[in-house]
Amino acid sequence: MSRFGRWVYDRRTGELVPADEYRAQRSRGRAVSEMPCPMIMTDQIEVKSMVDGQMYTSKAALRRSYREKGYVEVGNEELKAPPKPKQDRKAIRHSVRKALSQVGIST
């Protein structure tokens, strides 16, 4: 191999390869991933409702039946951040002034 010319870092192999070889490998139509297709999340499910005993084939339909009957599906509620405590600006100013006076800096 020659030391001169353009080289490209191949992430898949972790090596430097000549740029023309790298482009040739990429143009062969190799998949970017080892997976044949992207992962698809479907709504299809076969589950028996514990509320009314019916079989449902859709998660959305199951959740809709829960809401209609007044039930709450545990684990899906949105968590809200607790409110931030209000800072006592006067106490902060007082403690800063006290600390500065202890080291000999007057304000």
Structure tokens at 38: 């992207």
pLDDT tens for residues 50-95?
Answer: 889 999 998 889 989 999 999 888 886 788 899 999 999 999 999 9
User: For residue range 22-39, what is the model confidence (pLDDT) as tens digits?
Assistant: 877 766 655 566 667 777
CB 22 within 8 A of CB 30: no
DSSP type of residue 53: -
Could you tell me the pTM of the whole model? 0.37
**Euclidean distance between CA atoms 18 and 8, whole angstroms:** 6
62-70 long-range contacts (CB < 8 A, ≥24 apart) are none
Q: What are phi and psi of 77, to 5 degrees?
A: -75, 150
